[in-house]
Amino acid sequence: MNSKETRYVAHLDILGMSDLVHRNFDDAWGMLSDLVEVRDKSSNLSIKFLDTKETVNIRDFVKAITFSDTIVLFTKTNSEIELRSMIILVSEIFHKAICKCVPIRAGLSVGKFSFNDEKSMYAGPALIEAYRIGESSQWLGISLADSIQEDVRKLNLQTNHSDIVVNWDIPMKDGSTNGYVINWPALFAHDLNISPPVTSEQFYEGFQSSFGSYGALHDSVKNKYINTVNFMNHQLEQYGKA
């Protein structure tokens, strides 16, 4: 795709935000404020890619907009350096959000996306695809839509000999779908404060002040955390073997 409107797009949102807004709006606003703070700090990162020797300022390649509990990220075009910047930014936002006890999930895609900042207009098939793969995934994670998988795999990005993009059976409401996801546990294994394997109860501890006790969660919500730690523990085990 060579259209000037072809861009990389990411959709990120907070799990359980609607219920939290109804139950405790002050808490919800605080959580959203934390996420926006993470967005701003992450967007200001400068990254040096060791394989290409390039140093880039993320803000030069990726634009962020926020409405309600959703962050949309998009690039100017669909160049390789923009895709690299997008992957780093989404991963960093995800990681720092989890550290601040903000449960989020994300979807990435590539395709047509148009915008008009002056009139606050943002739309396109790429945004819909990113939204759908992110929203349908039953976990806290970063899923790749079909459109972007080949582009990301070609980059062959690694961290400490572990692949940054991995194949996984992404959990869905009705079973799972095989696809590709960002290996966030390997990217941030050095920040883990407890030894794996991590239980879903341990992972959830930071969220219970906002969403209630783990035992009181509906099974559908509890499963999202179970699915998350299953992925996390598997990738950390592979990371330890690398």
pLDDT at 1 over 50: no
The tens digit of pLDDT for each residue in 176-191 reads: 999 999 999 999 988 8
pLDDT at 166: 95
pLDDT at 54: 79
- The residue-averaged pLDDT of 132-151 equals 95
Q: By 3-state DSSP, what share of the chain in percent is helix, strand and coil, each rounded to 5? A: 50, 30, 25
- The residue-averaged pLDDT of 95-112 equals 95
pLDDT at 45 over 90: no
pLDDT at 66: 92
pLDDT at 155 over 60: yes
Q: Model confidence at 95, in pLDDT bands (50, 70, 90)? A: very high
Could you tell me how many residues make up the chain?
A: 242
Tokens of 28: 């919800």
Q: Model confidence at 4, in pLDDT bands (50, 70, 90)? A: low
- The residue-averaged pLDDT of 141-170 equals 92
Longest dimension (CA), the chain: 51
pLDDT at 88 over 80: yes
Nearby residues of 48 by Cβ (< 8 Å), 6 or more positions away = 54, 55
pLDDT at 51 over 90: no
* 6-241: CATH architecture: 2-Layer Sandwich (3.30)
Using only C-alpha atoms, the chain has a radius of gyration, in whole angstroms, of: 17
pLDDT at 2: 39
pLDDT at 132: 95
pLDDT at 242: 59
pLDDT at 63 over 90: yes
pLDDT at 3 over 60: no
pLDDT at 43 over 90: no
The answer to whether residues 239 and 186 touch, using CB atoms and an 8 Å cutoff, is yes
Q: Please, what is the average pLDDT of the chain?
A: 91
Domain residue limits, the chain: 6-241
- The residue-averaged pLDDT of 93-108 equals 95
Q: Model confidence at 240, in pLDDT bands (50, 70, 90)? A: confident
E strands in the chain = 6-14, 46-49, 54-57, 62-67, 70-75, 104-112, 114-116, 121-123, 142-144, 158-159, 162-163, 165-172, 175-182
Nearby residues of 217 by Cβ (< 8 Å), 6 or more positions away = 204, 211, 225
